[in-house]
Structure 1
Amino acid sequence: MKQFIDFIPLILFFIVYKLDPRAVEILGQIYTLGGIFSATAVLIISSVIVYGVLFVLQRKLEKSQWLTLIACLVFGGMTLAFHSETFLKWKAPVVNWLFAAAFAASHFIGDKPLIERIMGHAISLPQALWTRLNIAWVLFFLFSGAANLFVAFTFHEIWVDFKVFGSLGMTLLFMIGQGVFIARHMQHAESDPALDKTKD
C-alpha cells in the first residue's frame, strides 16, 4: 500500500492540470487554477502535506519517500521558477533510475538485496529468489523511467495522463506479477523441503 501513497499528490496534480484555467481567490489573493503550472504548485503543496502527515504519524519517512519528496520540490520548484515544464518531465525518469540504482547497488553493498531488506520480515524465500526478485525491480524501474521519458518528450499531449495512469498501471501490474511469483515459489518451497536449505 505504501507504494501507492506517492500517487495521491499525482492524482491531485492531474485533476488541477485538466481544469480549464480560472481565477480563484485564496486568502485575499487571486491565483490561476488549471494548467501545468498551477498543477505543479498543487503537486508540491500536496506532497509536503502527505509526507508531512506521514512523518508526524510514523516519526520518520522511508528513504524512498524522502527521495520522492525532494525530487518533487527540486523539479517542481525549477518548473515554477523557470516557467518551463521540461524540468517536471524529467522528474519521473530521474526518480525511477535512482531507485533502479539503489536496488542494483544493494547487490554489492550490504549482505542482502534491497527487496529482501524491505520484505524479508514478512516472507521467507531462498536467497537465489531474493536476488532474482531484486533484479526484476531494477529492470522495472529502468523500464518505467525510460517509458516516462519517451512519452514526455514524444507525445506531449498525453504525457500527464501517462505520468499518472500509465505509471500507476505499470506499478500495479508489476506488483501483481511479483505477488504471483512469490506465491508460486513459496508453495514450491513448502512442498519441497530441499529448497529451504538454499536459504542457509
Structure 2
Amino acid sequence: MTLPNFELEQALHAQGHVRIAGVDEVGRGPLAGPVVAAAVVLDPQDIPTGLNDSKKLTAKRRMALDIAVRERAEFAIAEASVAEIDEINILRASHLAMERAVAALNPAPDFLLIDGNMIPRGLTIPSEAVIKGDARSVSIAAASILAKNWRDQLMVDLAQQHPGYGWETNAGYPSKQHREALQNLGVTPHHRRSFKPVHNMLYQE
C-alpha cells in the first residue's frame, strides 16, 4: 500500500510557500448530520508517521493519529449545517465548511491543497485541487482524519438524542438499519430534507 507523502508540499515550499494547509471534508453522502471540513498545516520537521486516507484506517489508529495531529500541527475544523445543506445543496455546503475551516486558521496559510477536483469559490488563497488527495498528500490525509473523527463523534452524540437510527455506527449514512428506522420512526430535525430518501418520505403523494 502506497501511503500519502509530503512531495506536493515540498514542491510548494521550493516555490517559496511557507504555510501550506491540507483541506478535506467528510459527510457528503449521509442522510443526516452536518458536513464537516478540516484544514491542517503540518510542521515539516514533525509529521506524524502513518498518516493515510481516514477511510483506510481502523478507528483505533485514526484516533491515535487524530491526537498526534492535534498535538503537532495547526488545525481548524468547521461545519455546514443540515439547514445549509438543504438550502444551498451538499456540494456548496461542503465547500462552505472548507472555507470556514481555512478562515479559522490563524495565521492564515499561504497555499491550500484541497481534496477533490474543485476549488471552493469563496477561497481567495492560492490553491490546488488534488484528486484523491487524501491518498497523496499527508496534509490532506491529516485533515481527513480530523474531519472524520469530529463528525463520527458528533453523530454518536446525536444518536443518544435520537436512538434507533444507528448513527453511532453508520454516522448517518443510509445503512439498512437507518433506512428502516426512517420508515418506522420518521424524520428527525437532523435529517437532510433535500436528500431523496428523506424528501420522498416527507412528500409522499
Structure-1-length-normalised TM-score: 0.25
Structure of higher CA gyration radius: 1
Q: Quick check: which one's strand share is greater?
A: 2
Q: Quick check: which one's helix share is greater?
A: 1
